[in-house]
Amino acid sequence: AKAKGKPAKGLRFTPVEPNTDDKVTVPEGYGQNIVIRWGEPILRGAPDFDPEKQSATAQEGQFGYNNDFLSLLPLHKGHKEHDDHKARADRENRSHGQEGGGRRQLLVANHEYTDEVLMFAGYDPDEPTREQAEIAWAAHGLSVVVVEGEKSTGALRAVPRHRLNRRVTATTPFEVTGPAAGSRWLRTSADPDGREILGTLNNCSGGTTPWGTTLHGEENIDQYFANTEKVEDEEHRKRLERYALKGTDTERKWERFDDRFDVTKEPYEPHRFGWVVELDPYDPDSPPRKRTALGRFKHEAAQPRLTDDGRPVVYMGDDERFEYLYKFVSSKRMRRGNSRADHEHNMTLLDHGTLYVAKLHGDSPADEIDGSGELPSDDHEFDGRGTWIPLATGDRSHVAGMTADEVYVFTRIAGDKAGATKMDRPEDVEPSPRTGRVYAALTNNTDRGASGKAGPDEANPRNGNKHGQVLEFAERGDDPAAHAFTWRLFLVCGDPEDPGTYFGGFPKDQVSPISCPDNVAFDDYGNLWLSTDGNELGSHDGLFGVATAGRRRGEVRQFLTVPTGAETCGPLIQDRRVLVAVQHPGEVDGASVEKPASQWPDGPDAYVRPSVVSVWRKDGGGIGL
């Protein structure tokens, strides 16, 4: 039967149909604009983008490649993230005088990786030049750029040369902080103290803290390091392999231009990546930090929630097949003031606390979970209980046979020893600011149930899982620092006609099909928004909203689709604007500058360019109202 009444508040738009159009498709009545593209100048002195005349110096002042995570912060610090929107808008309007023009905000973006064949005409993957490698180093990292809203629409535009604009790249100095700073595992010939690292790599998603900083996950760092196969010390080689490093040459061949990318020359350099990075976007001169207390793995994202007494808890996924879910619980309380001393205190919150890994238990008999995704006969959903197993607190290890330093630097090995639950690629994990329930996107795992690999369990119930699932969990007593939780699968993604899919109990003939959830966000009404990467249903990736409570719980509605080859990233759902990062448009096997697979965003005569897009309602109304 047709569900009665209207979709949940915030999700009242005509869903976009699945499609393979080479553009950003938005619901009827909505408009869009490109906020910023790869290569647009943001720093003083940076030249306009000229794809035929790229240089590392130019790229160091321009917006980077492959935008992923996005954060929008008030331009003036002290306006807290979760403030009432109207109050914030009023403040921003009052600040027109000093900032000049429309409503300004601070945009922070991750640049996950580079696609050299789509960046450089005539690129030869066997013989990259030093200049190309250096441009790619400068195209990685983070961008901070002030953006300004247009008065009459939801369009946003970058404000070049603003004093807060900043680029962080693969060569920017980082401070190492927390319990593993200075550890012998982090020392290299360039940094014998293990306290300063050059650059950040593969920044996937991230988070925004209530104290006005941003967090950035270093994810697939294995791809940058050559010659693991040649490492003679077997113990060291096995540790590198546990982090997916393998083989000889890397695809980009940076090892030819800098010895630190060759593990036979700098054996510990890979240990210096795979961390959560914290950036203070309000201070362009502050060193970005690598926070070792949060552990080292393929960090997808890091989104904090505060305990009742003000301590941040950060939820984190390790995005690889059969990897784990983690959380970090700080032992220090956030200060709410805006003084220098308050800020300095808050910049230490993520250096002190306990790192945990998750173990999940299903409540149905294991033999009822047959790998098909169909619900066990005794039960109406996949659900159960879980525990957070402590791995280390400060300098104290909780894992037999490992020092605390080893737990932080080789966190995956600590998770193995703790008997954590092997999940289907944990991507973004975020607490709902409204309910405190936590949502984890488990994007897919085609190896589930394969020979020699882990079979299905209640939280990962499908063999050969192509479409992924969304796990919902509630901490005991709604305390984010709790050691126990209950969980259930909120969505088991895929074609709604497939009996092995589940949409929170909502009638499946009335939902948008969804595949490979990756990023997680929330709107002001408590709806969950999911963006996808790798849609296995034959249409393009997109952005979806879904109610998590009430009679419409589980009603997935598609808000937009992205161009050919792209994934949808960084979604931000404001009351009158949706912001998405369109990452790797045109990334299709065999595509190149000469043979593009996409013409987005600027048509057939232009380079394909990853870009940030703003979407709004043409009549000026709220999103989904």
In single-letter form, the type of residue at position 128 comes to: P
User: Quick one: which of 315, 317, 347 has its CA closest to 332?
Assistant: 347
For ligand FEO, give the closer residue by CB, 223 or 486: 223
Does 92 bind ligand FEO (CB under 6 A)? Our answer is no
Residue 271 to residues 58, 237, 252, Cα–Cα distance (Å): 30, 12, 19
Asked if 115 interacts with ligand FEO (CB under 6 A), we say no
Q: Which is nearer to ligand FEO, 362 or 610 (CB)?
A: 610
**Minimum distance from residue 301 beta carbon to ligand FEO (Å):** 8
Footprint on residues 574-603 left by ligand FEO (CB under 6 A) = none
Q: Write out the binding residues for ligand FEO, residues 475-534 only, by CB under 6 A.
A: 518
Residue owning tokens 């998750």: 358
Minimum distance, C-beta of residue 477 to Ca ion, in the bound complex (Å): 22
Q: Residue 524's binding partner, choosing from Ca ion, ligand FEO, none, with beta-carbon cut-off 5 to 8 A by kind?
A: none
Amino acid symbol at 73: L
- 266 binds ligand FEO per the rule CB under 6 A: no
- Residue 302 in the binding site for ligand FEO (CB under 6 A): no
When binding is defined by CB under 6 A, the residue of 40, 148, 219, 555 that contacts ligand FEO is: 219
Q: Does 112 bind ligand FEO (CB under 6 A)?
A: yes
Q: Minimum Å distance from CB 201 to ligand FEO? A: 12
Q: How far apart are CA 570 and CA 301, in angstroms?
A: 11
Q: Is 556 a residue that touches ligand FEO (CB under 6 A)?
A: no
Q: Out of 204, 215, 279, 491, which residue is the one contacting ligand FEO (CB under 6 A)?
A: 204
523 binds, among ligand FEO, Ca ion, none (CB under 5 to 8 A by kind): none
Q: 112 is in the binding site of which of Ca ion, ligand FEO, none (Cβ under 5 to 8 A by kind)? A: ligand FEO
Nearest to residue 52, comparing CAs of 114, 115, 121?
121
> In this structure, what are the phi and psi dihedrals at residue 156, rounded to the nearest 5 degrees?
-125, 145
Residue 300 binding ligand FEO, by CB under 6 A: yes
| Amino acid in position 354 | T
**Do the Cβ atoms of 175 and 288 come closer than 8 Å?**
yes
Q: At CB < 8 A and 24+ separation, what contacts does 193-197 make?
A: 197/173, 197/272, 197/273, 197/290
Cβ 443 to ligand FEO, closest distance in Å?
7
Q: Which two tokens stand for residue 618?
A: 């043409």
Look up tokens 């173990």; give the residue. Answer: 359
Taking the least distance from each CB to ligand FEO, the nearer of 32 and 443 is 443
Q: Is 430 in the site for ligand FEO (CB under 6 A)?
A: no
Residue with tokens 């201070």: 283
Least distance CB 300 / ligand FEO (angstroms): 5
Amino acid at 352: H
406 binds ligand FEO (CB under 6 A): no
Q: Residue with structure tokens 């994810």?
A: 219
Cross-strand bridge partners of residue 410 = none
- Residue 278 in contact with ligand FEO, rule: CB under 6 A: no
Nearest distance in Å: CB 222, Ca ion: 15
CB of 220 to Ca ion, least distance (A): 9
- The entry of Ca ion, ligand FEO, none near residue 379 (CB within 5 to 8 angstroms by kind) is Ca ion
Q: Kindly state the number of chain residues that form the binding site for ligand FEO, as judged by CB under 6 A.
A: 7
Helices (H), 171-226: none
Q: Choose among 380, 408, 381, 376: nearest CA to 392.
A: 408
Query: Which CA distances in Å does 507 have to 4, 311, 544, 557?
Result: 11, 40, 17, 13
**Contact between residue 179 and residue 395 where contact means Cβ atoms under 8 Å apart:** yes
For 434-465, give one letter per residue: b (16+ CB within 10 A) or e. Answer: eeebbbbbbbbbebbbeeeebebbbbbbbbeb
In the bound complex, which residue of the shown chain has the CB atom lying closest to Ca ion?
Answer: 533
- Least Å distance, CB 132 to Ca ion, is 25
| Minimum CB distance to ligand FEO, residue 621 (Å) | 33
CB within 8 A of 348, min separation 6: which ones? 177, 332
- Give the nearest distance from C-beta 54 to Ca ion in angstroms: 26
- Measured over the CA atoms of residue 572, residue 11, residue 306 and residue 299, the dihedral's sign is negative
CB neighbour list of residue 391: distance below 8 Å, 6 or more residues apart: 295, 354, 355, 356, 357, 397, 398, 399, 407, 411, 414, 415, 418
Pairing of strands 438-442, 426-431: antiparallel
Q: Does 427 bind ligand FEO (CB under 6 A)?
A: yes
From Ca ion, ligand FEO, none, interface partner of 364 (C-beta below 5 to 8 A by class)? Ca ion
Q: Least separation, in Å, of the C-beta of 104 and Ca ion? A: 28
Give 258 or 518: the residue with its C-beta nearer to ligand FEO: 518
Binding footprint of Ca ion on the chain (CB under 5 A):
204, 363-364, 379, 383, 518, 533
Binds 532: which of Ca ion, ligand FEO, none (CB < 5-8 Å by kind):
none
Q: Of the candidates 319, 457, 472, 475, which one interacts with ligand FEO according to CB under 6 A? A: 319
Residue among 364 and 510 whose Cβ is closer to Ca ion: 364
Where on the chain is the footprint of ligand FEO (CB under 6 A)? 112, 204, 219, 300, 319, 427, 518
